[in-house]
Structure formats: structure tokens, C-alpha cells
A and B are shown apart, each in its own frame.
Chain A
Amino acid sequence: MQTLDMAEVALREMNATLHAQAETSNQTTWEILNPKGAHAIACGLDAPIEVTVKGSTGYYCGGMNKQATIHIKGSAGPGVAENMMSGTVVIEGDASQYAGATGHGGLLVIKGNASSRCGISMKGIDIVVHGNIGHMSAFMAQSGTLVVCGDAGEALGDSLYEARLFVRGSVKSLGADCIEKEMRPEHLALLADLLERAGATAKPEEFKRYGSARELYTFKIDNAY
């Protein structure tokens, strides 16, 4: 285990050290101490390493992650795991706005609640939230899967494309072009796999599925009103 203490190591030096880890590195486990809400911690990683952040993080922790597994032993600020390509980010606490925004791949697990715009414009990432999510989540979400074990706020899935949304609790309101859809066996299997990987105890049968009505897919004058 390698340790980077942010009380002693500057952000630039810490990220440069993590960026220098190659696929063949044998220094595969790292811990970051004293993050104290700093921004851009462990962003842009591209190696199969495990990084544990002992505390809460500011904006964009794990941004654009590839391959790495990042555990945040606290809560995460806005844009955690934004544009993630692959790998895993797990947050023990809550996540602020835009969690997993535009993510292309990988798995984001939020064990607490996520704020507004969770999964906004997601492009292939899988997100599992153990708690609730805020308003405008999955706005313009293109692909990937968002699983919410609690409740969803207003305007879920507004202007949704092909992303799959599953919510166990209540949905305050659905956004434009987002509708409830039939839950088929393949969806239950997908949910079961994601819930297991995310360490969630909920049962797939307890969820409802939401997706795009595909009414906004081609330009119509009515869409402009």
C-alpha cells in the first residue's frame, strides 16, 4: 500500500504520481489521506490500480477515470466520476450534483444519496444509487443504466435517449419524453447483476423501469413549444 498524504503532497504531485502508474505497475493499491474536500483528486487515471480516498472530496474526483477503482470513504462533491470511461468509483457517503455526468463506461456506486442531475448526459456508464436522487437526473441521458434504490426527484429522464432507468421508490415527476416501460426478464437480469456488483440488497422485482418514448427523436414543430 502506497500512501499520499495531501497534508504534505500537493494535488499536482499526487495526480502526477497516480498518472505515472502503468498497466504493469506492481504498486496497485494507494491511499490518499487528508483530502479535506480538495478538487480534482485522482482524475484522469488510466491504470488498473485501486485508490482509496480517506475522507470527503471536492469537485470532479475520479473524473475521466479509466481502469482504476476508486473508493471514497466519505462524501463526494459535484461531478464525481464525470465522463468516466471504465473502472469503478464507489462513494460510501453522499454525492453532490452531476454525479457520473457524461460517463461513457464503468460503474459508479453511491451508497448514500445523490443530488440533482445525477447521470446527466450519461453515455454508457452504469450508476447505482443506494439512496435517493435529486431533480433533473438522467437529463438527455444517452445510454447506460441508472439504478435508484430510493426515490427520484422532479423531471427524471427529461429529453432522454436510450439510457435505461430503474427506480425502486417514488418518482416525483417524469421529464419530457420519459415514460414508464414494461419490465421484461432481461431487465430483471440486468438489475440483478448491477445490484450485486454495487452491494445493494434490493430485489429487482421491486423496481420500475423508465425509458424514452422516443417522441423527441425527430424534429417537430410541436417540440419547440
Chain B
Amino acid sequence: MTDPRNGAPRTTPIQSATFSNPVNAEIRRAAATGIYDIRGGGAKRKLPHFDDLLFLGASMSRYPLEGYREKCETSVTLGTRFAKTPIQLDIPVTIAGMSFGSLSAPAKEALGRGATLAGTSTTTGDGGMTKEERGHSNKLVYQYLPSRYGMNPDDLRRADAIEIVVGQGAKPGGGGMLLGQKISDRVAEMRNLPKGIDQRSACRHPDWTGPDDLEIKILELREITGWKVPIYIKVGGARPYFDTTLAVKAGADVVVLDGMQGGTAATQDVFIEHVGQPILACIGEAVRALQDLGLHREVQLVVSGGIRSGADVAKAMALGADAVSIGTAALIALGDNDPRWEAEYNALGTTAGAYDDWHEGQDPAGITTQDPELMRRFDPVEGGRRLNNYLRVMTLEAQTIARACGKNHLHNLEPEDLCALTMEAAAMAKIPLAGTDWYPGKPGTSY
């Protein structure tokens, strides 16, 4: 480039890496509106993740199983510590808690249908248990949340497990909100609030503070349900070693650990992107806590936050998880963010794959909405079929990898089956960097 006036070379324009175009656009948006951005989903920034791990596979020192025929079990039992009737699942991929209110009733029904076909569990959410969801879910986990919207002892006793939600990966330390445009008559009735107002979900439970209180709360829940069903404690990826230790101390049968890639229906973008840890950094710490307590595998660990494929499932389990949970991926399987609705996404100022204004209730796919017209676009039977297909593929993929590592059960995958591609992943997951036997912070090394 030259100056047209005198032909002298010009300085090349350089965009700032710090003040990038998207950053500047957000500054202009904030300056124009005076309001912070609220959106759904989980962290969109690039994070150390399961993609930064690889399986080594079998070779001279490992004996593989035949890829298509030899048995490779996938079942998992959750809640063996105290519950009289633990949950038996055919596959170690469960459906995470998502509320009726944030999702439509047909979408919740589809999650139940798909999970049941695949032999796994689904989970309620803030807003209570719908009859569609209970009716179509063979195994249903009932979330016990700070808001207690729709909470009642009858539904508690109808549940196959209870999940006490202390936090979630998208917003550890934060509550939730459901904006007025999604508060239909039915949603309002279930939450005991007027129609059309913004509903806030508290960030703290109303009747206990701290793990000592929680231990007594769990006693009450077990007394009410006759000690039959497992009690999970769900925490966001904040301080996984101590959170897991305290959850176990409080009496959990199962610890559910959600990394910052885990989605939410609506929270401030600044919260989603800047609070919490990626799930890769959390699993090892939670497993270490369980091992230190001598309870690894006795208290089961379910992890979530960015699980997309059978490879992710296998990697999470190799790191020590007993099962995983999916939310965002399940919604995509149902049809969320599908390019078939591109014209409508464009009309909303976005594009397929980037649509995250779930709180506004205008989802063209009819999933994250309470608009009757949009909801009609979504067929819960077809949605359930698609989710089942997806869960089956994930399971087959995980089995393929496990067999290649010589494992006849997904639970037999182990850290020694993995290597890390980056220093960050090696340090976070405590898995040796590829081509070495070392990871940062490895005991016995000085760095």
C-alpha cells in the first residue's frame, strides 16, 4: 500500500488483539443501550478441552478387543452409597437438568422419550416436574433448587433420584432468570407467580447455608422419600476438590460436576465467560477428592460441560468419571440451531449455530420457547427419536475407543490410556504430554 499523493509506503493497518472487532462492537452496544448482555448457552471462548487429549490405543503392551463383536459393557449404577434403589442405566450418558419454562413442554417430553429409548435418565429443572416429562421418562431425576418453584413432596416421591443443585457450570455462584416473555399461564401457575413478569431464581437455598446444614437437609429429604432414591449434589466447576469433598461429607450418593462450558437458559454473558473452570480442569480434582476419601466409585461422579461425542464420553470416563451428562448437545440433537431455520435466525439478527437468545422465547426451532405457534413446529416423538439416535452413536463411539484400548467396560478406561496435546491440557488433566511421561506439576518433578 502506498500513499496516492506521493507514492510513499504506508503503515499496514493492524487490528488490536485486545480491542478486537467483537470487543469494540460490544463496547458500542453497551454504550448505546446501558444494559449488559444476557444470553443462553455456555462459554463460547476457546478453552482447554477434551480435544486436547488423545487415546493411545493398544499396541505391543496392550491387547485390543475386536471392534465390532467383542463385548464392551456400558451400564452404570448411580447412587449405591445410601439409597435403597440406586438408578441403573444402560449407558453412562444422562440428560442434564433443563427447566420447563426455559424449554417447551414438548421439548421436555422429547428429552424423556429419547432418554428412555436409550436406557438413560433425564432431569427436571427450575420450574418443577411436568406430567409429560414424568410420563415419558423411565428414569427421572428431580432437581431441588434454591427457587423451589413447583417443589412438592408428591413429585419428590415420584422421582427416581433427587439432585440438589448448589451451582452450575455456566454461573457458579449465580442464580437464574426467566424473562417475562416466556412466562405463559402454565409456567406462571407452576411457579406461583404472576404471568409475564421476570422471574428470578435465587443463588442460595432458602433454608440451609453450608455443608453442615446441607447434611441435615439431605436427612430430611431421605426421611420424606423413605431412603429409597439416590441424592445427587450438583456443583459448578469452581473449587472441585473441596466442593466434592464437602458434597460427600454432606451425604451425597452422587456428585454432579458441571464445567463452564455447561449451558444455562439465561445469564449475563460476562458471568458465563468469566466465572468458573473448564471441565477438563475439574475432573481430576474431583476424582482426587473421592480417592482421598476412599470413596471413588462408591460415590459416583457425573461430569458435564461441553460433552459432544463418544470420544468426549470416553475421555471423561478415563479421567475417572462414572458417567457424563449432556444439555446443549441434547438440544442440538433435538433441532436447536439447525440451519433449516437460517432465514429466521437471520431475521433475529443471528445465524444458525450462534443463536443464544433463548431467554427471549423466539426460538424458530420451537424448543426454547413457550410461544404456541413456534412450539407446534417441534414434534416430541421425532425429537425423541433423534435424541435416542444421537445417544446410541455416542455410546458406540465410546465403545469403539474402549475396545481399542483393550477395555471390556467403559468404566475400565483409565488415565494411562490418554496423552495430552498441549501443556495446558497436560497440567489441568494431569495427563502426560504426548511423547513424554511428564505433565506440569507431576509429583517428584521440580516443575
Contact = CB atoms under 8 A, between A and B. Distances in A.
Contacts of A124: 192
Contacts of A64: 152-153, 156, 224
A46 B207 contact: no
A82 B226 contact: no
A66 B200 CA distance: 27
Contacts of A97: 207
A204 interface: no
B153 A85 contact: yes
Nearest to A159: B200
Contacts of A142: 191-193
A120 B194 CA distance: 18
Contact of B207 (A15, A78, A218): A78
Contact of A217 (B38, B153, B197, B225): B197
A40 B207 contact: no
Instruction: Find the residue from B36, B148, B194, B202 having the highest chain A CB count within 10 A.
Output: B148
B198 A82 contact: no
Given A102-B148, A221-B35, A66 B223 contact: no
B87 to A, nearest CB: 21
Interface string A1-43: 0000000000110011001000000000000000000011001
Contact of A224 (B36, B197, B217): B36
Nearest to A99: B207
Interface string B219-245: 110011111000000000000000000
A82 B152 contact: no
B180 interface: yes
B207 to A, nearest CB: 4
B213 to A, nearest CB: 7
Contact of B194 (A60, A159, A162): A162
B192 A78 contact: no
Contact of B200 (A63, A102, A140): A140
Contact of A98 (B194, B207, B223, B226): B207
Interface residues of A, number: 43
A39 to B, nearest CB: 5
Given A217-B198, A218-B180, A218-B198, A83 B151 contact: yes
Contacts of B207: 60, 78-79, 82, 97-98, 101-102, 117, 120
Nearest to A221: B35
Contacts of B180: 217-218
A102 B149 CA distance: 9
Contacts, number: 106
Contacts of A221: 34-36
Contact of A63 (B35, B191, B202, B220): B220
A78 B217 CA distance: 10
A219 B220 contact: no
Nearest to A161: B193
Given A140-B202, A219-B177, A39 B152 contact: no
Nearest to A44: B224
A218 B220 CA distance: 35
A58 interface: yes
B60 to A, nearest CB: 56
Contacts of A59: 213, 216-217, 220
A56 interface: no
A71 interface: no
A134 to B, nearest CB: 14
Contacts of A83: 148, 151-153
Contacts of A101: 206-207
A163 to B, nearest CB: 10
B179 interface: yes
Interface string A91-122: 00000011001101000000000000100110
A123 B148 contact: yes
A43 B206 contact: no
A143 interface: yes
A11 B222 CA distance: 11
B63 interface: no
Closest 10 A-B residue pairs measured CB to CB? A44-B224, A98-B207, A102-B148, A79-B207, A64-B153, A217-B197, A101-B207, A123-B192, A40-B220, A60-B220
Given A44-B223, A60-B217, 4 more contacts: A40-B223, A60-B207, A79-B220, A219-B177
7 contacts: A12-B227, A40-B220, A82-B207, A98-B207, A102-B207, A217-B194, A221-B36
